[in-house]
Structure 1
Amino acid sequence: MAALTITPIHRVLGARVDGVDLAAPMDETTFRRIHDAFQEYSVLVFPNQRLTDEQQMAFTTRFGPLEKTIRSIGQEHRLHENMVDLSNVDPKAEQSLMDWSDRRMQYQSGNQLWHTDSSFKPVPAMASLLSGREVPPVGGETEYVSMRHAWATLPAETQRRLEGRVVVHSILYSRSTIAKGLFDPEHEAELPPVRQALVRANPHNGRKSIYIGSHAWYIEGLPYEESRRLLDDLLAHTTRPECVYQHRWAQWDLVMWDNRCV
């Protein structure tokens, strides 16, 4: 295999990683280069990685323990129980696509909102890894923005206003903007709101980022309407078109991103 190369793919975030087989045992030197690239670029694209569930999890656990995900809405698992199946294919009828009116699709449509994975949990996930096992011939792109760049391009006065603020995050809030009644009452009880710092710093390099998204419900200490306006303004600032990296999937792409700043 060719030597490992790391090539930036966007002006503010993202890099393509070639010359590595993630299914094979990885020496520490190679892993450290990938780890450092993850800290630097926030989004890593590994093309042509035909991984099994076990191989994907083995690579993932080099970065830390696996997160326990929340229960899927009315969806049977086709993958390992530690993995999430993001698909519009009906698991009960493999040749059929779920209709948009299906409760499972309504729930999944929340993924089309700008969000940071698992920010609604007391301990959010550091990273997510998505494998393109089946991809459509057109559409299905995934978009990423750098919350570090968003922070760095805020006026100093706004930065001072945000420092030390706490935001309440809730997946019940974010999914309620899609449709009502997506969670059963017993499921809702498992998902209480959580408090997260609005501004966070990477422990490896100290770079700050804004920590918001569709799960961000309101800012503590501000009137609700004022906090919603501020959150909406911040989201508009972070998702300006020139700041967005849009990934067009090829089959067996593996994309990894840093939830602390993406």
Structure 2
Amino acid sequence: MTPRDAADDNPSQGSRWSDLDRPPLNAAALRRALVRKGALWSEVDVVQRTGSTNADLVARADAGRAGEGSVLVAEEQTAGRGRLDRQWTAPARSGLFFSVLLRPGEVPVARWGWLPLLTGVAVATGLARAAGVDTSLKWPNDLLVTVGGEERKAGGILAERAGEGVVIGVGINVTLRADELPVPQAGSLALAGAVSTDRDPLLRAVLRSLEEWYGRWLAAGGDPLASGLQETYAAGCATLGRTVRAQLPGERSVVGEAVAVDGDGRLVIATGAGVQEPVGAGDIVHLRPA
């Protein structure tokens, strides 16, 4: 038994089955399933509680204590962050909160901006298979589900540079109940009618899907078209075809129809003035249903 598995069998730290609704992840089983010869995932570490898996994994990478394929999972995050430094909090063991370290050295850095979008495709694909939930993506990296006929955010992705690599953090609400939602616009897999909320197979499915998509993208030299990533992202993107407002840096905003995701991963907005404006960074608000 390694120290990181001790909580599974140490009553003072809580038995694996101390909360039947939200049992802890089985770290040893996850490693057996994911860490194997020739696989992307080189290490899977599960911690009980931390501020941010992204911050921790970036620090490990910067200190030379993490290689490509390192996965850090937390049962609870106390200082998780979303885009634009928004706080992401949830009850312990109510979701999947993890970060991965990728080092796509042979891919031009100009194409690394596709990594969060690639992760979104991989997460949505993995959850659709394992949880049976119809998922879609809000550009650039929010995971949407339908709860009571309404579109809700159930997850998000945050990418950060770490030396010669990228750390990508993922947060997914799995068993969050209605009275636990941080905001009315939030949702969870359980509220969306998931056929399974067992986090072990959900995490395995997501990481295997990410490994598959990352491998395709690497083999294509990071080309989003040749790898099929650009087409797949567009097919699953709930933002396309909608009237949106993009809140841009400098307090500028653009309103128009989201018509495409270009080769650089930017959202192309057709404005009322007949101009097509690519947006690479900003906060997108859906103004009407598709």
TM, length-normalised to structure 1: 0.32
Higher relative contact order (CA 8 A, sep 6+): 1
**Structure in which a larger fraction of residues adopt strand:** 2
